[in-house]
Amino acid sequence: MSVKYIPVQWNFNKYFYDLVLLICVAVYILVFIRIGTPEAGVTRPIDGAIIRMRAFGTCAFLMLTVILCIGPLARLDRRFLPLLYNRRHFGVLTFLVALTHVVYVLNWYYAFSDISPVVGLLTTSETSGQLLGFPFEWFGMLALVILAILAFTSHDFWLAFLSAPVWKRLHLLIYVAYAAAVAHFALGYLQDATNPFFMIVAGGGAVMVSVLHLAAGLKASADGEQAHKGEWIEVGDPTVIPDGRAIIVRIKGNERAAIFRNGDALSAVSNACAHQNGPLGEGRIIDGCITCPWHGFQYRPEDGCAPAPFTEKIPTYDLRLEGDTLLIAAKAHPPGTKVDPLTVPERDA
C-alpha cells in the first residue's frame, strides 16, 4: 500500500514464492510419471492418461496437506512465517492442480459418453451402500467445489465485500475439503495400489496436520494473559523490544496488542490488521509506519491510522512505566485515537 496507489501485493518475494511453487509442482509431476506409479504397484494395467491423472491428483492432495501445516508451523516457529504470508497463492495453485486432475478423469472415462461427464462421474457407481467401493468420486468433487470457492474468493474484493469475519469463516471450509480429499484418496487411489508407500504418506500427512494443530493450540493455551494490575497489564522489560519491531501481548481472550519500538519511542496498537486481520506484531516499521507482513498495509504507530489517502484505522493502547517495568492499558482506545508515544531508553547494542 502506498500513497501512489502502487499495489504491493505483488513484489519480488511473491514472484519468487510462486516460481518455487511452480517448480516443485512440475518436478513432482515429472518424477511421479517417470518413477512414482511403477513403484507404487497396481492391481491392473494402467496407461499414460491414468498415470498423469494420478500424478496431478496426488500432487493436489500433498499440496493441501502442506497448506494446512503452514499455519500451525508459523505459530510454533516464526521462521515459517514467510510461507504463511503468501498462502493464498498456494491455495489457488492447489485448486488448479486438482482441476487438472478432474479434467483428465472426465476426458478419459467419459469422453464418449452420451451423458454429461460430471453426471456420469457421480452416478455410475452402484456400491454406495458399503465402505469399500463407496463412490469416492463424491468426496473428490466436494473437495474440488470447496477449493474452487476458496480460490475464486481469495481476491481482496471478496474480503471487503463479505467482511473479514465472514471471509475467514468461509475459508475454514478448507478443513472440510481436506477431510473429503483424505476420503477420496483412501477409497480411490489406495484401493488399487499394492505398495504401502503412498498409504503411509497419506496417513502420515493427515496425522501430521492433526498433531501440528494440536501443538499450536496447546501453545496458544499456554501463552496465558499477562498479570493484571487493575486497569493495566504487566508486560515486562521494554528494552527487549527490538528497534522497528514489536512484541505481542495477550490482553484477554483472543484480543492481542502489538507494542512497537521506533527509536526511543514505544507505541501500542491492536495486533489485527484492518485489511485481513493479519498479525501486525509480526511486521516491522517501514518509513515510520507499522507495516503488515501479509499485504503491506501501513499504520502510523501513534494513532493507528493509515497514511493518506487511505482510511483504515486500528485501535490504540496507552502505555506507562513503573520503574523498569512496562505496562499496557487493558482497554483499547477507539480506532484512530492518537496516543503520545512512551519514551524509553534505546536498547543496548
The C-alpha cell at 239 is: 528494552
DSSP class of residue 32? I
pTM of structure:
0.71
Please give the full DSSP string across 221-233, using - where no structure is assigned.
Answer: HHSPPPPEETTEE
CA distance to 98, 229, 248, per residue, from 219 (Å): 33, 24, 14
Mean pLDDT by 10 residues, the chain (349 residues): 44 82 94 70 62 90 94 83 80 95 84 69 55 72 94 83 82 93 82 70 88 86 58 89 90 87 94 85 90 86 92 94 90 94 71
Taking the domain 12-222, which CATH number applies? 1.20.120
Question: Residue 147's pLDDT is what?
Answer: 96
Residue given cell 516499521 in the structure block: 285
Orientation of helix 174-187 relative to helix 136-152, angle to 10°? 150
Instruction: Give the phi and the psi of residue 126 in degrees, each rounded to 5.
Output: -120, 20
Taking the domain 228-343, which CATH number applies? 2.102.10.10
Instruction: Give the phi and the psi of residue 253 in degrees, each rounded to 5.
Output: 55, -125
User: CA-CA distance, 334 to 73, in Å (whole number)?
Assistant: 33
User: CA-CA distance, 104 to 234, in Å (whole number)?
Assistant: 59
Question: Residue 45's pLDDT is what?
Answer: 54
Instruction: Specify the 3-state DSSP secondary structure of 215.
Output: helix
User: CA-CA distance, 71 to 219, in Å (whole number)?
Assistant: 13
Question: Residue 39's pLDDT is what?
Answer: 54
Question: Residue 128's pLDDT is what?
Answer: 45
Question: Residue 342's pLDDT is what?
Answer: 93
Instruction: Give the phi and the psi of residue 16 in degrees, each rounded to 5.
Output: -65, -45
Question: Residue 2's pLDDT is what?
Answer: 38
Break the chain into its structural domains and give their ranges. Answer: 12-222, 228-343
267, 247 Cβ separation under 8 angstroms: no
Instruction: Specify the 3-state DSSP secondary structure of 193.
Output: strand
What are 236-268's pLDDT values in tens digits?
Answer: 889 889 999 999 898 887 789 999 999 999 999
* Identical topology for domains 12-222 and 228-343: no
Question: Residue 9's pLDDT is what?
Answer: 53
From edge to edge, which strands make up the β-sheet containing 284-286?
284-286, 289-291, 298-299
User: CA-CA distance, 290 to 294, in Å (whole number)?
Assistant: 12
